Structure 1
Amino acid sequence: TGAALFDADGDPAGHVTSGGFGPSAAHPVAMGYVQTSLAKPGAKLFADVRGTKIPVDINPLPFTPHRYRKG
């Protein structure tokens, strides 16, 4: 939570509002606010995690497909 997000040019783009390990996704997941122009799949973003820039993938919700059937 609170990690700064940057675009491919290193300019500030937003911040993470919540995050953690996603057991269903089998990797870390996070949600945050970004500039509208960058809020689309394929946008190149990076999170500053303890001084290291980590690449971020933009994905629509839900992160994983549901596995239930409506009866």
Structure 2
Amino acid sequence: TGRAPAREHTEIVDKSGRRIGEITSGGFGPSLNAPVAMGYVESAFAGDGTEIDLMVRGKAMPARVAPMPFVPHRYRRAV
């Protein structure tokens, strides 16, 4: 959440500030009109909807874990 995108190597922390993971890729998602990012977190924090913080430019930015794809596709796969 927020407007500043989290970039590669951004720290992911829990609500107490303990490091629980790292962003591997991030940027602005035009389909969502908001920043999106992918990363790794400890398994205890990997559940859909888990509230986390991203340390962007030294400030904790609230975020939440979401399943992929962020936006459902609207095409059918040919067989």
TM-score when scaled to structure 2? 0.82
**Residue correspondences, number:** 71
Unpaired runs of 5+ residues, structure 1, are none
TM, length-normalised to structure 1:
0.90
Question: What is the RMSD computed on CA atoms of the aligned residues?
Answer: 1.2
**Counterpart for residue 25 of structure 1:** 32
**Which residue number in structure 2 is paired with residue 55 of structure 1?**
62
Residue correspondence of structure 1 range 29-40 to structure 2 within 5 A: 29-40=36-47
Q: Extract unaligned runs of 5+ from structure 2.
A: 1-7
Match status 1:67 vs 2:71: no
- Aligned equivalent of 1:3, options 1, 7, 10: 10
**SS of residue in 2 equivalent to 1:37:** helix
Using the TM superposition, give the Cα deviation of residue 42 of structure 1 relative to its aligned residue in structure 2, in angstroms: 2.3
Runs of 4+ in 1 over 6 A off after TM superposition: none
Counterparts of 2:68 and 2:26 in 1: how far apart (Å)?
14
Q: Distance in 2 between matches of 1:69 and 1:15?
A: 33
Q: Report % sequence identity.
A: 45
Give me the whole-angstrom Cα distance separating, in 2, the residues matched to 1:69 and 1:45: 34
Q: Distance in 1 between matches of 2:15 and 2:51?
A: 6
- Deviation, 1:11, is 0.8
